[in-house]
């Protein structure tokens, strides 16, 4: 076991005791390994988790050169292994079908790569009831989640699939990935603060479930990771191990809570909007880059509202049907109404909320502010890590991004600060 794994070894062995309820916590992933180098150790890990299985290694042209060829060579002759180098990877229904066809004669699949490769293999192996493991090429959080983001007829869906059997992080490989991807991974986990505030806000106002388990674990390393943002950007392996560990824990949040809410709230809704509705004006930004930019936008709103000494005044929820038709398409109107049905505040609820907040505003904001990082601290850390912080830095159409802030609340059923701000006529002042 690697000393860089930290608390993760206790999670994979089922030894960690959750201090919030004094119960042991276990996860379905059998092995997670973070090491400065795994070169020559691949067979030991795969033999432990995929013994006597016929294995297909899936990579693309880039990840094959970065790691796939090495993994294949170190397994070939010891395991029953072949490789498939995917020429045009795309995480869509069609792309997943392509992986299914390629792997039809194999028992297990090993993914070499990040978002597209990992999610496609994850979903394909889930559909075919096959085991899969992954060797990471970036320090992102999607490797340890049981969910996959897949396009169906241009509509991006987050699908609950299954867990990887093994997840392997070779820091010598991760340190060589484009700095832009490392910065995006950093941006995709510093959203802990905005997601936790939103999820707790929803719990307080709508009595939706809330579980602090992932935040207890993330809290072991987050402050140190933020303090080492510059070293992460410079490729320091020990600092990169912090980011990788945080990413792995962030991905595991779904196992602890049964939902992705712990790391995916308003900031991810904005990113989904960008992917769904920017179309030919999409600037080619990655998921993590979009989440990072959105995290700063959401943090500014959260800090601005929750640090106010006086409560906002709410009105009943308004769904702008005509604007939705014009901006999102007429086919989205019914979907928006379905997503919004459980978070609409009518006149009665609004009057009750205004009365409550007038009497209890400081008590209401106290637990939210306790888990909220200052906007300036997030900005500084992302700057140190070299992450994109604004739509302009990402060559993103500012009008379209402002639409994402304004209409992002309507495409998901999760109650967030965007709902809170819009229903109290505060959202517009945070839109450039």
Q: State the Cα–Cα distance between residues 240 and 231, nearest whole angstrom.
A: 8
Computed over its alpha carbons, how large is the radius of gyration of the chain?
Answer: 22
Q: Which residue ranges form the domains of the chain, and what is each CATH number? A: 3-177 (3.40.50.1970), 259-430 (1.20.1090)
Mean pLDDT across 107-123: 96
Contact 71, 42 (CB under 8 A): yes
Mean pLDDT across 156-179: 94
How far lies 273's CA from each of 30, 183, 397, 398, in Å? Answer: 35, 21, 13, 14
DSSP per-residue codes, 220-286? TTHHHHHHTHHHHHTT-HHHHHHHHHHHHHHHHHHHHHSSSGGG-SHHHHHHHHHHHH-GGG-----
Dihedral of the alpha carbons of 306, 307, 311, 317, in degrees to the nearest 10: -30
Q: State the Cα–Cα distance between residues 121 and 110, nearest whole angstrom.
A: 8
Contact 213, 22 (CB under 8 A): no
Q: State the Cα–Cα distance between residues 92 and 372, nearest whole angstrom.
A: 35
Closest CA to 36 of 3, 70, 69: 3
Q: Which residue has the tokens 């901006």?
A: 327
User: What are the beta bridge partners of residue 37?
Assistant: none
Q: State the Cα–Cα distance between residues 80 and 50, nearest whole angstrom.
A: 10
Q: State the Cα–Cα distance between residues 282 and 401, nearest whole angstrom.
A: 10
pLDDT at 156 over 80: no
The pLDDT value given to residue 360: 97
The pLDDT value given to residue 2: 60
Mean pLDDT across 390-405: 97
pLDDT at 373 over 70: yes
pLDDT tens for each residue of 134-147: 999 999 999 999 99
pLDDT at 398 over 50: yes
pLDDT at 202 over 80: yes
pLDDT tens for each residue of 270-302: 999 999 999 999 999 999 999 999 999 999 999
Phi, psi for residue 230 in degrees, rounded to 5? -65, -40
The mean of the pLDDT values for the chain is 96
Mean pLDDT across 253-263: 93
Q: State the Cα–Cα distance between residues 64 and 61, nearest whole angstrom.
A: 5
Q: Could you tell me the two tokens for 376?
A: 């300036």
Phi, psi for residue 167 in degrees, rounded to 5? -130, 125
- The model's confidence at residue 58, banded by pLDDT at 50, 70 and 90, is very high
| Number of helices and strands in the chain (H, E) | 21, 10
- The model's confidence at residue 154, banded by pLDDT at 50, 70 and 90, is confident
Mean pLDDT across 42-51: 96
What is the C-alpha end-to-end distance of the chain, expressed in Å?
Answer: 49
Contact 138, 185 (CB under 8 A): yes
Buried b / exposed e along 354-393 (16+ C-beta atoms within 10 A) = beebeeebeebbeebeebbbebeebbebbebbbbbbebee
Task: Work out the burial of residue 62: count CB atoms within 10 Å of its CB; fewer than 13 is exposed, 13-18 middle, 19 or more buried.
Answer: middle
pLDDT at 157 over 90: no
User: What are the beta bridge partners of residue 58?
Assistant: 84, 111
Q: State the Cα–Cα distance between residues 176 and 184, nearest whole angstrom.
A: 14
The pLDDT value given to residue 1: 46
Task: Work out the burial of residue 300: count CB atoms within 10 Å of its CB; fewer than 13 is exposed, 13-18 middle, 19 or more buried.
Answer: middle
pLDDT tens for each residue of 322-361: 999 999 999 899 999 999 999 999 999 999 999 999 999 9
User: What's the predicted TM-score (pTM) here?
Assistant: 0.93
């Amino acid at each position: 076991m690697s000393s860089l794994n930290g608390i993760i070894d206790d999670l994979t062995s089922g030894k960690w005791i959750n201090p919030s309820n004094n119960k042991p916590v276990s996860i379905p992933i059998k092995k997670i390994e973070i090491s400065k180098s795994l070169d020559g150790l691949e067979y030991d890990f795969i033999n432990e988790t995929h013994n006597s299985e016929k294995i297909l290694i899936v990579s693309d042209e880039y990840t094959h050169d970065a790691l796939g060829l090495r993994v294949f060579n170190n397994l070939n002759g010891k395991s029953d292994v072949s490789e498939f180098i995917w020429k045009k990877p795309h995480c869509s229904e069609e792309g997943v079908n392509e992986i299914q066809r390629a792997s039809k004669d194999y028992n297990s699949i090993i993914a070499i790569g990040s978002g597209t490769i990992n999610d496609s293999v994850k979903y394909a192996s889930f559909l075919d009831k096959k085991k899969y493991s992954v060797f990471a090429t970036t320090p992102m959080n999607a490797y340890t989640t049981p969910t996959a983001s897949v396009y169906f007829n241009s509509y991006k869906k987050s699908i609950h699939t299954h867990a990887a059997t093994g997840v392997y992080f070779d820091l010598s490989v991760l340190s060589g990935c484009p700095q832009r991807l490392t910065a995006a991974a950093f941006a995709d986990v510093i959203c802990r603060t905005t997601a936790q505030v939103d999820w707790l806000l929803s719990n307080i106002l709508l009595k939706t479930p809330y579980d602090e388990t992932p935040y207890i674990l993330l809290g072991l390393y987050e402050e140190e990771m933020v303090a080492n943002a510059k070293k992460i950007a410079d490729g320091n392996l020990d600092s990169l191990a912090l980011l990788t560990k945080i990413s792995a824990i962030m991905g595991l949040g779904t196992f602890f809570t049964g939902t992705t809410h712990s790391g995916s709230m308003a900031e991810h809704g904005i990113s989904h909007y960008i992917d769904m509705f920017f179309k030919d004006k999409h600037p080619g930004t990655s998921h993590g880059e979009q989440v990072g930019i959105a995290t700063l936008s959401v943090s500014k709103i959260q800090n601005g509202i929750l640090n106010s000494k006086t409560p906002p005044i709410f009105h009943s929820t308004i769904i702008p049907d005509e604007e939705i038709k014009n901006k999102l398409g007429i086919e989205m109107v019914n979907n928006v109404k379905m997503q919004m049905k459980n978070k609409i505040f009518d006149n009665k609820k609004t009057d009750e909320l205004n009365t409550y907040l007038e009497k209890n505003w400081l008590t209401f904001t106290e637990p939210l502010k306790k888990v909220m990082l200052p906007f300036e601290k997030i900005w500084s850390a992302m700057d140190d890590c070299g992450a994109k912080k604004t739509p302009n830095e990402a060559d993103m159409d500012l009008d379209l991004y402002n639409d994402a802030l304004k209409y992002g609340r309507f495409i998901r059923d999760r109650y967030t600060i965007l709902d809170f701000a819009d229903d109290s006529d505060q959202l517009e002042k945070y839109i450039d």
